[in-house]
Amino acid sequence: MPESGEGVQPRFASNLINVQIVGLSSKSVFKVLTASLVFSLSLVSVAAASLYAAGPPKYPSFVTAMCPPEPTGPLSAAPSAIEGGPTVALTFDDGPGPSVPAIMQILARYHIRASFLNDDTHYPGYLTQENNAGYLMGNHTGNHHLLTGVSLGQQLAEIDRSIQKTFGVTKTSACVFRPPYGGFDSNTIKAAALRNSGMWMWNDGTGDFLAQGSGSAYWVRHIWTSAVGVGLKLPHVVILLHDQHHDMPATVAALPIIIDHFLAHHYTFVDLLGRSGAPNTCPGTDPGPLAGAGTALATGTTLASGESRVSPNGEFTLSMQTDGNLVVKITGGRVLWESHTSGHPGATAQVTSDGKLIVTDGAAIYWTSTGTGASSVSLGNNGNLVAMVGSAVVWQSNSIWSKMLPGDSLRTGWRLYSPNGLCSLIQLSSGALKLTSANGMSIWTNGVKAPNNPATTLMSSGSLVTSHQVGGNSQQAWNSQMSMHPRDSLSVTNTGHLVFKTLGGILFYQTP
């Protein structure tokens, strides 16, 4: 169905759509737009019950519980980027359609992010491709019907259809929302808030839906000049484009021209969650094997039986256990790495003069690290035990904490890392969980407020729970509501996602 909102600025006005034509001087174009709007609005005359089947959501409650919090009400200026400067968000409505592969190929060539606000699963394979490529999946309702003038429950049912479809195919959330035709009323604002979705409009319409499948030079020029003519006057631009259920050659042809113009004017491309850089990446410099500061054991250091060292942030402990086993543990928790030398009580750990880490009782060596010449061995803030010569790693334990198991907890300042160390989930002192890139960009957060000594635990029931101290007692502040998946695991991936898997390793949810 064509989008009546292309090239128009949506506004809330007493349950009606108040539209303003932008940049369309041709009478023929105006007639097409008017006819499209009349046709779209005529659908409202169909019985509401047949369009908006009310009922409870048919997706698990954790799907919307895991959406990042966003401001209530219509949003139309692109999020700021960590890089600073002007930003531009490319958004594609009405999909997925047959032009998706060509659109994604262009985006991949430029290594930029975009947001796809889908309303159908005519091409479920394209939903999977969009998600796997790391683009933000948005909600454009299930049936693309005008929402204004119908009940809150009916509007929720339409929003829930899209959430259900997106989760069913991709196991992720549609955490950003755009109402069809840009039409909304007070119930729409409430519905978006109840589903933890930012309600995104646009401030730069292209009118690309009016091409109706034409790839003529006229439409290509109309689309890119509309986008550039308006967008380059704004510091934070949301561009409205489409990937409808028919070929859109003019949109595809205009897209690289639009991108080139904004890049030439030093805009950063972001998605509607404010993420920049190439999709499926955590931008930033490789933090190295120590992930920042480490607790060093210089040459000649001895760890006596029962003695320990702690990483600078207190998250990890290196212990020479009384049974002779040298271990790296989550402080107060499980073992991440061990020398497998138990059965030798009283053994010590030593850093030898040639830079090796050994477990010995003085008469025999039960375990030794590889490599020589290290000036020290360090326990890093990521849980990795590393021996280095200058900047070269000669041995490491590969004990980076990248997977939470039932019973594991994150305390304030503690991080769960991706295997490559570029992405990490941190427990903030505010109570919020925040997934960040190596350069500090926020990838996802649950926005929880629990400022009194918060900690987040993966429960044996499968839920992720944040608690803090209230009046001397531990009180739950947030629950991911995943109790139908007991004994699951939570991982941070190299692609910047939190991934929840069942005991059997089956994916049941990942963050956007």
pLDDT tens for residues 229-247? Answer: 999 999 999 999 999 999 9
Range among 5-9, 323-327, 478-482 with highest mean pLDDT value: 323-327
Amino acid at 267: Y
Average pLDDT over residues 411-433: 95
Q: Greatest CA separation found in the chain?
A: 95
Q: Of 57-61, 208-212, 382-386, which gets the smallest average pLDDT?
A: 57-61
Average pLDDT over residues 432-461: 95
217-220 long-range contacts, Cβ below 8 Å, gap at least 24? 219/250, 219/254, 220/250, 220/253, 220/254, 220/257
pLDDT of residue 120: 74
Domains and CATH numbers, the chain: 12-44+68-269 (3.20.20.370), 294-396 (2.90.10.10), 403-510 (2.90.10.10)
Q: Of 54-68, 255-269, 408-422, 426-440, which gets the smallest average pLDDT?
A: 54-68
Q: Which two tokens stand for residue 39?
A: 């046709």
Higher pLDDT, 119 or 121: 119
Q: Of 26-40, 164-178, 447-461, 481-495, which gets the smallest average pLDDT?
A: 26-40
53: phi > 0 → left, psi -120 to 50 → alpha, else beta; which?
A: beta
Q: How far is CA 243 from CA 92, 162, 376, in A?
A: 6, 16, 57
CB atoms near residue 88 (< 10 Å)? 28
Proportion of the chain above pLDDT 70, given as a percent: 88
51 pLDDT band, cuts 50/70/90, is: low
Q: Of 52-56, 333-337, 384-388, which gets the smallest average pLDDT?
A: 52-56
pLDDT of residue 390: 80
- The residue among 411, 383, 397, 376 whose CA lies nearest residue 292 is 383
Distance CA 295, CA 229 (A): 56
For residues 283 and 277, the answer to whether their CB atoms sit within 8 Å is yes
Residue at token pair 């972001």 = 270
In the predicted structure, residue 8 carries a pLDDT above the cut 60: no
pTM, 2 dp: 0.88
Average per-residue pLDDT for the chain: 88
pLDDT tens profile 95-114:
999 999 999 999 999 999 99
In the predicted structure, residue 40 carries a pLDDT above the cut 50: no
Q: Of 32-46, 62-76, 411-425, 449-463, which gets the smallest average pLDDT?
A: 32-46
Q: Of 155-169, 289-303, 336-350, 466-480, which gets the smallest average pLDDT?
A: 289-303
In the predicted structure, residue 5 carries a pLDDT above the cut 70: no
Distance CA 500, CA 481 (A): 12
In the predicted structure, residue 314 carries a pLDDT above the cut 60: yes
Contacts of residue 127, Cβ cutoff 8 Å, sequence gap at least 6: 96, 118, 121, 137, 165, 166, 169, 170
pLDDT of residue 53: 66
Provide φ and ψ at 445, rounded to 5°.
-150, 150
Q: How far is CA 381 from CA 298, 319, 370, 414, in A?
A: 17, 15, 22, 9
Average pLDDT over residues 178-189: 97
- The residue among 399, 391, 307, 395 whose CA lies nearest residue 354 is 395
Provide φ and ψ at 139, rounded to 5°.
-110, 120
Distance CA 317, CA 436 (A): 24
pLDDT of residue 74: 97
